[in-house]
Structure 1
Amino acid sequence: MWRYLAIAAAGLMLAGGGLLLWQSDAAGPSLPSPALAADAQDAPLGAPPAASEKTREEKRFGRYDKDKDGKISREEYLASRRKAYAKLDANGDGRLSFEEWSAKTSERFAKADADNSTVLTPEEFATTKVQRKTVRPAPCVPETEG
């Protein structure tokens, strides 16, 4: 019997607490005092704003516009592709064979195949895992008290 009374009392207290919270939210947010506003002006600035998308796009445009005439020609647009192609075309004949295209992969396989068996064991294959660079978080600047 006492259990039922305790449960009923707890339910009433929860309902009363919810009613108080609901009424305090209905009154709206309270305005900060002038003393708090003055402290906020003296507070150190937060992190600088990130570059806008337009700024990033302007930088990308600048990288492609090699002659800085404000326009990107087809040749300027394809220049990065031509450089990448030229690196792969080892014999410079203007044609990319499968061997030239897969040279890095073939070298990676040969390096991983430690016993020169032309097959990779699970241990050898594990050495071909792509090594990702971790991005370091921005350093924290400690706040100084004024």
Structure 2
Amino acid sequence: MGRYFAGAVSAMLLIAAGLFIWESIAQQDEPPPPVAPPPEIAQPDPMTAGEPQGTGPPPPEATELTREQRRFGRYDRDRDGAITRTEMMSSRTNAFRQLDTNGDNYLTFEEWAVRTSERFASADADGSGALTPQEFATTRPRRSAASRSRCNC
């Protein structure tokens, strides 16, 4: 009997809480403020109709993009202001395809090791089995011609 009474009381409390929340939400919905009438447009003087009225506001100045903004722009292929995973990885696909010699879209250790060994062997000019600082400098990734140019044309 006590359980039925407790169930009825808790049901009444839930209904009362729901009504309280409903009323508080209804009170928050106020009508929007009235819209201001459009400003009156002055009619041009017929005596000065052929003369320019004014210079108007100055045009906006073009600002140079920061380095990070340019980098973001290179990755954002569809120019929607967000970089998806596909856009982020698209610049790496050509390098991956060069390493994936059998074309199965999996890079195994052997494929990576063969490519790295070939790169090491081509950098080791004297064939000593060790890279000197000058030889190691030849393994540096090459920058593209576009990134080397500092032309502000």
Higher RCO (CA-CA < 8 Å; seq separation 6+): 1
Higher helix share: 1
**Greater Rg, structure 1 or structure 2?**
2
Q: Same fold (TM over 0.5)?
A: no
What is the TM-score of this pair, normalised by structure 1? 0.39
What is the TM-score of this pair, normalised by structure 2? 0.38
